[in-house]
Chain A
């Protein structure tokens, strides 16, 4: 289908992008990799007057080492994130999730920051980013601010990014040596996950010293399975801890499953994800 007509700007600096946003305000949409925005435009579910393409801003691309964290530029394509050695070494959970993200074509077009800013609770990156305690660097007219993951995801398709702001990079605290697994439950490979569990585990020989668990599509935002994490840190056995995985969640009902079924899945998948992450 054909989108409604819109103007297109492609700034080369974050500053210019911010000024374009300031000029056009509510009439503008930001284009990152376009893997969600373009279908929405073509189905005429949205009709912005201006599309601001961040694709020409080189400073938003790439992965770098920043001491106790790695930093992923918002416009870094998934395929680059997935093959980056820093990510694999220090944020294995992200590496694992990207392996399962959509398909090869989308991984070459879609971007790390775009997916997170889109904040689809069924997206594959929110739960891992949340579990790893990432922080989100957001540029605005007044400068740059950093928002912790717990405060970044606000609701369905809604984040802490203001109308006049742009997500520039994501800082992920190093989890060097942590095991990781992303357990994604789908009916067909190219589908959004019905439920997925992102688990990363510090420990050796199957013992769990520390653990972080993120849940995909178990509510209107990515969620942490805090009760299950606490139980594991407190030494409970995994089978019992996994039974707590659906606490404080509010999963949706749709064609692929009722809310209650998703709760059940979260428990089973948490057990499997933690087992795999712990090297079991």
Chain B
């Protein structure tokens, strides 16, 4: 055994260091294992035939011509695949009587949204499959389509006629019934006589997650296990769903999520495409691949948000809040997706936010429509709640004629009141809204901007300035399994980790979280480096393969660090615990005299000691271990959190509004987030920047719009407006730190915080800029036209013209002569 040099007295800590992400070179250059990059010899390619209409009976499908097309191996319908295709499951029926339409991967007899799959073509090349897909002749007998929540609620036109209603479930939380508070209706009634009542209805428009890498799946049925590679956030859950719905034993299925290019909740799904690829590969005993086009992705990958929010807030005359009533209506689309109706329910616990409401009532009615299904999108329920309450607090301030911070400070939980049990029944473990707010206001230059706002108002400047506030909190780190059970969610919320000490002194870390761009490999390496005193570069983080990371519940809900990271800490601690008696044995010392510090076991009061890596080597050889010892210091841990995790922060936004055109322009954005202890500031900064832009994009740009036939008008990035760097400004990002008390590292989730917080800050700023012109709301996205309409005609600016035409109008042949298509 070679002696290693004693390490320096104090090793540089990895936690808190802004390490560049070790995964970035391969991710940014694309020279990596994206699913579509996989080429298994003999792979057949799939093309989907999708319904162009929103609702129709399929009267016939003629596959003859397609089947005869060059190199086509098979053309299959729902009838052909039968039970082998499984079903798409809803894992969270929010009420026992939830109305849930059966969801076959391939529609059988009737289509319920435009984009639904009606047949699959299998060919030797992707191009041949695509060509043949156009030859499948499907006859549709159109049925009336129900579009929009308000229409669906009338139950006149039905999304699924056989169900007899569009209403899927009504989920209710009442603080009086739950024993967590008083009666909200009573509070509101009282305020109508001697207080203040604010009533508003807000629209959460439909959004499209728009991850960078389109979804892709490869299935290889060769060998004992059927291997599924998928661009998914949830390899473990997908394996469960495949097994549970096809009858294939779980042990016969291996799911791999290789490098995955973004998800934002959009890849938290068991998709029809995955089920179809699985069924076709089994049927033909050949590897198959399907990669969607961007157009297919926009129309068939699940959408997000899409709610109407009716909010009633009551307060005393001095601004002390007394009650909150939330009545939500949420559009599920044509089917109840894997989390589906659970997304708005996650918001139920967050409308009260950081405020001490004594009474709270929440209800959510979910509805089915003939549109693309909806499910989780970055924030999932909490952005909607945060938007609702932060808009309402600004409205309360406006009603009282006071600064928006006055009503917030009066009602928020003070730092000395933590831990605090809210009216929704959650226990917030830690936080300090006062110092986050003070810091944000100072960085932002709040008072100066208020003075500028006044000058612009006084001079009648055509460009008005508005300041928006969002003092958000959220619940993340999904989730305590018992809580999920009490909500009828179909799985737990624990996470698993393993630490493998290799003979050469290197370390393999295995996590059940499934990164798709977040930087787990870097951050988790930093955690283990500090915990075990092993160099950062000697640690490899493995994930996303059910054969390697055999247990896991994947990545969503800002859970990877606060749940998966804690599992990792515990596994690492077990390694030290197991190595200690080995070290003592090798050092010929009593276990009580050996202490572990920064990677070494040291005999107290002597120079004798050895590195953990040396113990690993000795364990590998197993030549000299204590009698009867199991020769392993590897360890596993499964961590089930006892509570959610509650990041918070104060976000401030200044918007300029050109009153002549309605154009809005961001002037300044400052956020001070409290996400507890930070593992890697660079990764956090990236998460915050990206999160902010996604939330700002909801406020200003993005909206999925259907025409009155149920065709997605915003079906390309020409019409679904994603911002680029050219459309955003440099943000001021800073932090305060109140460590979480429910995990060892004191961390809080940051993956969704920026998205949750920013949307109301922006809209509050837009409304603040033009409130003196009589405007109380602008519907999202705050397009120039809506802002201009709100200024000139009142209201919230109206809905987007539903019958509007996309720039690439599918029916118009662009260029019927030979020159018109000449590229610009």
Please determine whether B818 and A29 come into contact, CB atoms closer than 8 angstroms.
yes
| Residues of the A chain whose Cβ atoms lie less than 8 Å from the Cβ of B127 | 2, 5
Chain B residue with the shortest CB-CB distance to A122: B807
Answer yes or no: B719 CB below 8 A from chain A CBs: yes
**Interface flags, B513-540, vs A, CB<8A=1, else 0:** 0000000000000000000000000000
| Distance A39 CA – B19 CA, assembled complex (angstroms) | 40
Please determine whether B823 and A118 come into contact, CB atoms closer than 8 angstroms.
yes
| Distance A163 CA – B718 CA, assembled complex (angstroms) | 28
Q: Do A159 and B724 form a contact, CB below 8 Å, given A45-B808, A110-B824?
A: no
Please determine whether B823 and A33 come into contact, CB atoms closer than 8 angstroms.
yes
Interchain CB contact (< 8 A) of B824 among A114, A163, A269:
A114
Please determine whether A188 and B824 come into contact, CB atoms closer than 8 angstroms.
no
Please determine whether A255 and B705 come into contact, CB atoms closer than 8 angstroms.
yes
How near does chain A come to B516, taking the closest CB pair, in angstroms?
23
| Residues of the B chain whose Cβ atoms lie less than 8 Å from the Cβ of A29 | 815, 818, 821-822
| Residues of the B chain whose Cβ atoms lie less than 8 Å from the Cβ of A115 | 824
| Residues of the B chain whose Cβ atoms lie less than 8 Å from the Cβ of A269 | 661
Q: Do A255 and B820 form a contact, CB below 8 Å, given A1-B295, A188-B724?
A: no
How near does chain A come to B433, taking the closest CB pair, in angstroms?
34
| Residues of the A chain whose Cβ atoms lie less than 8 Å from the Cβ of B820 | 117-119, 157-159
**Interface flags, B122-138, vs A, CB<8A=1, else 0:** 00001100110010000
How near does chain A come to B464, taking the closest CB pair, in angstroms?
15
Q: Do A189 and B784 form a contact, CB below 8 Å, given A1-B293, A30-B819, A163-B818?
A: no
Please determine whether B821 and A30 come into contact, CB atoms closer than 8 angstroms.
yes
Chain B residue with the shortest CB-CB distance to A259: B801
Please determine whether B724 and A190 come into contact, CB atoms closer than 8 angstroms.
yes
Please determine whether A46 and B821 come into contact, CB atoms closer than 8 angstroms.
yes
**Interface flags, A155-181, vs B, CB<8A=1, else 0:** 011110111111100000000000000
Please determine whether B785 and A261 come into contact, CB atoms closer than 8 angstroms.
yes
Chain B residue with the shortest CB-CB distance to A262: B785
Chain B residue with the shortest CB-CB distance to A166: B819
Answer yes or no: A235 CB below 8 A from chain B CBs: no
| Distance A110 CA – B761 CA, assembled complex (angstroms) | 39
Interchain CB contact (< 8 A) of A265 among B661, B800, B810, B813:
B661
Interchain CB contact (< 8 A) of B788 among A28, A38, A264:
A264
Number of cross-chain contacts by CB at 8 Å: 162
Answer yes or no: A279 CB below 8 A from chain B CBs: no
Please determine whether B814 and A45 come into contact, CB atoms closer than 8 angstroms.
yes
Count of residues in B whose CB is under 8 Å from the partner chain: 51
| Distance A264 CA – B791 CA, assembled complex (angstroms) | 14
| Distance A33 CA – B821 CA, assembled complex (angstroms) | 11
| Residues of the A chain whose Cβ atoms lie less than 8 Å from the Cβ of B788 | 261, 264
Answer yes or no: B727 CB below 8 A from chain A CBs: yes
Chain A residue with the shortest CB-CB distance to B720: A255
Answer yes or no: A123 CB below 8 A from chain B CBs: yes
Interchain CB contact (< 8 A) of B823 among A32, A119, A157, A255:
A32
Answer yes or no: A43 CB below 8 A from chain B CBs: yes
Please determine whether B701 and A158 come into contact, CB atoms closer than 8 angstroms.
no
Answer yes or no: A80 CB below 8 A from chain B CBs: no
Interchain CB contact (< 8 A) of A188 among B701, B713, B818:
B701
| Distance A60 CA – B724 CA, assembled complex (angstroms) | 34
Please determine whether A30 and B705 come into contact, CB atoms closer than 8 angstroms.
no
Chain B residue with the shortest CB-CB distance to A52: B818
Chain A residue with the shortest CB-CB distance to B817: A163
| Distance A137 CA – B127 CA, assembled complex (angstroms) | 39
Answer yes or no: A66 CB below 8 A from chain B CBs: no
**Interface flags, B664-691, vs A, CB<8A=1, else 0:** 0000000000000000000000000000
| Distance A46 CA – B130 CA, assembled complex (angstroms) | 15
Answer yes or no: A258 CB below 8 A from chain B CBs: yes
| Residues of the A chain whose Cβ atoms lie less than 8 Å from the Cβ of B807 | 122, 192, 254
| Residues of the A chain whose Cβ atoms lie less than 8 Å from the Cβ of B801 | 253-255, 258
Residues of A3-56 whose CB lies within 8 A of B: 4-5, 21, 25-26, 28-40, 43-46, 48, 54
Please determine whether B819 and A117 come into contact, CB atoms closer than 8 angstroms.
yes
| Distance A1 CA – B808 CA, assembled complex (angstroms) | 15
Please determine whether A254 and B126 come into contact, CB atoms closer than 8 angstroms.
no
Answer yes or no: A268 CB below 8 A from chain B CBs: yes
Please determine whether B804 and A38 come into contact, CB atoms closer than 8 angstroms.
no
Please determine whether B819 and A34 come into contact, CB atoms closer than 8 angstroms.
no
Chain B residue with the shortest CB-CB distance to A113: B822
Interface residues of B (CB under 8 A from A): 126-127, 130-131, 134, 293-295, 660-661, 663, 700-701, 703, 705, 713-714, 716, 718-719, 721-724, 726-727, 783-785, 788-789, 800-801, 804-808, 810, 812-815, 817-824
26 chain-A/chain-B pairs, Cβ below 8 angstroms:
A1-B295, A2-B127, A5-B127, A21-B818, A26-B818, A29-B818, A30-B818, A30-B822, A31-B823, A36-B821, A37-B821, A37-B822, A37-B823, A45-B808, A46-B814, A113-B822, A117-B822, A118-B823, A156-B812, A185-B784, A188-B721, A254-B804, A254-B807, A255-B801, A258-B801, A261-B789
Which 8 pairs from chain A and chain B are nearest by CB? A115-B824, A189-B726, A37-B823, A34-B823, A1-B293, A30-B822, A254-B804, A161-B819
